[in-house]
């Protein structure tokens, strides 16, 4: 067995998933496990090669199997397991993963020879008390303040994390854990003032300025607290703006706005409330360009994520009152119904009956952890959850640890191991389910689609991708690319947005500047397509997508 010295996690850089350049279609690979920097990888160092794991590569997904354990990574969804980690990289038929994924498979690099010297321990301060060792500030308009800490675990900072908005004259006050502060600390970060106070159970930091949105979160290895501040921009700049009325109640605007990659052209369709109706269109196993989905509609934008191999929606999809796919991971959903436009993170509670005996009520605490999956061929479950495979007659045909694929004309019920009645269900048992969607307004919608992350809620910054099982630092969030979003203003105007060169976080100030009180991101990148009056507004060629959001100009019946 080959043994390699691992580089400090500080050097970890996760590169994009490399599939088609090495393997075509579906293939299997074998080998042993080792920690190294593969040739040509760019020096990731902290990744582990799964030489002895079996690797199946298909379009949009990678399946990793070692012994009785199987893990699946789906592009756009992440790992079908109870952890968030970067995607695998496949190089010369071998998958490279971060240590968390290898550990979930039970794989540990063999230790032999002379072990590498341990990293230098952080200096002891005040008898081992944790300390703030530095403050880093970056950015010119959108500011990032990073507090570097030593001698403290990242879990001690979890309670400090928060998102929101500060009105002019207000302050963001952060109560820090018990740490020692250095003698010199910065008093400003751009147009934001920083006020430090060393007293009480621990020190505190107050940020003040002329109104700003904030996102505070903790990171490990090394431990640090990150404070992202986005000052109010005073509305979308009119420079270079073009406004065109396309139809009664429909306005098309284009302008340039600042994004993380520099100035970006932005396309916005504003649809006033009143006449017309909104629909979500899509069908299991079907994908086609947004313009084709919009047939008969005047305005359209691409919808949510999907599995390219099966063309199955990822997350909630409701068309004409029929649930075609259940919610996935508490992600953002937009729904249209009698309560108007609803944008929120969706949660579902599932009740279970076995042979007409109640096994799990909708009010039980475990009801939030049971899910029903009905899209044929889609993956369901994880290595830490049980799965009941149920046929078209509602009878159990299999009961095992996940993940498993949903059978044709059947479904899979995913349940936590604590639910003993489900773990003991035998083949032939008849299963009945009941679902309750939260918030309650989503139960009344006739059309809905899931995507995310949530961007704005109640007129405030609500961007917290970790709450929706999105990992920071990966392509789906942090690459500069085309971005699609949808929002609603206080008067009910719906905003459809396509930005040509931004990251997901850039959509938050953009949607706030446009007046959105609620907003969410849709599937983006190559899927981003904005349509009006039979033409695509933001691109020359289209990618096939599994669903779309369409506005029809006639009044609802």
Separation CA 389–CA 34 (nearest Å): 36
Neighbours of 153 (CB within 10 A): 13
pLDDT at 17 over 60: no
Kindly list the structural domains of the chain, giving each domain's residue range(s) and its CATH number in brackets, ordered by start: 9-104 (no CATH), 131-231 (2.60.40.3500), 242-346+441-552 (no CATH), 347-430 (no CATH)
Mean per-residue pLDDT of the chain: 81
The structure's pTM equals 0.58
Of 451, 454, 436, 453, the residue nearest 323 (C-alpha): 436
Residue 109 pLDDT > 60: no
pLDDT of residue 8: 29
Residue 242: beta bridge partners? 254
- Calpha distance 266→497 (Å, rounded): 7
Lowest mean pLDDT among 226-235, 252-261, 351-360, 525-534: 226-235
Q: What is the CA radius of gyration of the chain?
A: 25
Above 90 in pLDDT, residue 536? Answer: yes
Of residues 114 and 397, more confidence is placed in: 397
Q: 6-32: b or e for each residue (b if 16 or more CB lie within 10 Å)?
A: bbeeeebebeebbbeeebeeeeebeee
Determine phi and psi for 507, rounding to 5 degrees: -70, -25
- Report the alpha-carbon distance of residue 72 to residue 211 in Å, rounded: 43
> Which tokens go with 260?
């993380």
pLDDT of residue 111: 39
Residue-level pLDDT at 396 = 97
Show the 3-state SS of 5-60. CCCCHHHCCCCCCCCCCCCCCCCEECCEEEECCCCCCCCCCCCEEEECCEEEEECC
146 has a pLDDT exceeding 80: yes
Q: 3-state class of 423 per DSSP?
A: helix
pLDDT for 235 equals 52
> Over 80: is that where the pLDDT of 117 sits?
no
Phi/psi for 423 (5° steps) reads -65, -25
- Three-class SS of residue 476? helix
């Amino acid at each position: 067995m080959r043994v390699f010295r691992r580089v400090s996690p500080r050097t970890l850089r996760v590169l994009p998933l490399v599939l088609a350049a090495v393997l075509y279609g579906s293939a299997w690979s074998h080998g042993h496990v080792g920690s190294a920097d593969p040739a040509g990888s760019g020096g990731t160092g902290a990744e582990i090669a799964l030489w002895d794991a079996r690797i199946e590569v298909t379009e949009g997904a990678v399946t990793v199997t070692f012994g009785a354990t199987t893990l699946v990574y789906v592009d756009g969804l992440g790992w079908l397991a109870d952890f968030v980690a970067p995607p695998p990289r496949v190089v010369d038929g071998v998958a490279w993963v971060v240590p968390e994924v290898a550990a979930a498979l039970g794989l540990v690099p063999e230790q032999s020879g002379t072990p590498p010297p341990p990293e230098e321990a952080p200096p002891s301060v005040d008898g081992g008390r944790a300390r703030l060792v530095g403050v880093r500030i970056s950015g010119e308009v959108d500011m990032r303040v990073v507090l570097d800490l030593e001698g403290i675990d990242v879990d001690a900072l979890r309670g400090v994390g928060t998102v929101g908005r500060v009105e002019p004259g207000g302050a963001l006050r952060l109560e820090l854990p018990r740490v020692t502060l250095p003698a010199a600390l910065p008093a400003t970060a751009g147009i934001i003032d920083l006020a430090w106070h060393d007293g009480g159970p621990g020190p505190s930091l107050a940020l003040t300025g002329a109104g700003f949105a904030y996102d505070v979160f903790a990171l490990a290895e090394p431990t640090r607290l990150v404070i992202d501040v986005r000052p109010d921009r005073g509305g979308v700049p009119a420079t270079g703006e073009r406004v065109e009325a396309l139809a009664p109640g429909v306005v098309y605007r284009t302008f340039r706005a600042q994004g993380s990659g520099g100035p970006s052209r932005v396309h916005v369709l504003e649809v006033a409330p009143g006449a017309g109706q909104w629909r979500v269109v899509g069908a299991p196993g079907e994908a086609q360009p947004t313009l084709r989905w919009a047939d008969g509609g005047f305005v359209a934008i691409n919808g949510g994520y999907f599995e390219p191999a099966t063309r199955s929606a990822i997350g909630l999809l409701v068309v004409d009152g029929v649930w075609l796919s259940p919610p996935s991971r508490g992600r953002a959903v937009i729904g249209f119904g009698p309560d108007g436009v609803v944008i929120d993170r969706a949660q579902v509670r599932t009740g279970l009956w076995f042979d007409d005996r109640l096994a799990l009520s909708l009010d039980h605490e475990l009801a939030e952890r049971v899910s029903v999956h009905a899209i044929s061929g889609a993956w369901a479950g994880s290595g830490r959850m049980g799965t009941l495979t149920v046929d078209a007659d509602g009878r159990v045909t299999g009961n095992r640890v996940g993940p498993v694929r949903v059978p044709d004309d059947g479904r899979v019920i995913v349940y936590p191991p604590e639910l003993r009645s489900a773990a003991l269900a035998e083949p032939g048992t008849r299963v009945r389910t009941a679902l309750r969607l939260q918030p309650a307004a989503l139960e009344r919608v006739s059309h809905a689609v899931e995507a995310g992350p949530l961007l704005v809620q109640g007129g405030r910054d609500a961007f917290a991708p970790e709450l929706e099982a999105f990992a920071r630092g990966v392509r789906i969030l942090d690459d500069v690319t085309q971005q699609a979003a949808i929002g609603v203003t206080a008067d009910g105007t719906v905003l459809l947005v396509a930005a040509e060169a931004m990251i997901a976080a850039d959509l938050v100030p953009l949607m706030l500047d446009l007046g959105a009180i609620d907003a969410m991101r849709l599937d983006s990148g190559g899927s981003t397509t904005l349509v009006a009056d039979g033409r695509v507004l933001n691109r020359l060629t289209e990618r096939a997508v599994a669903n779309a959001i369409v506005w029809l100009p006639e009044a609802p019946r």
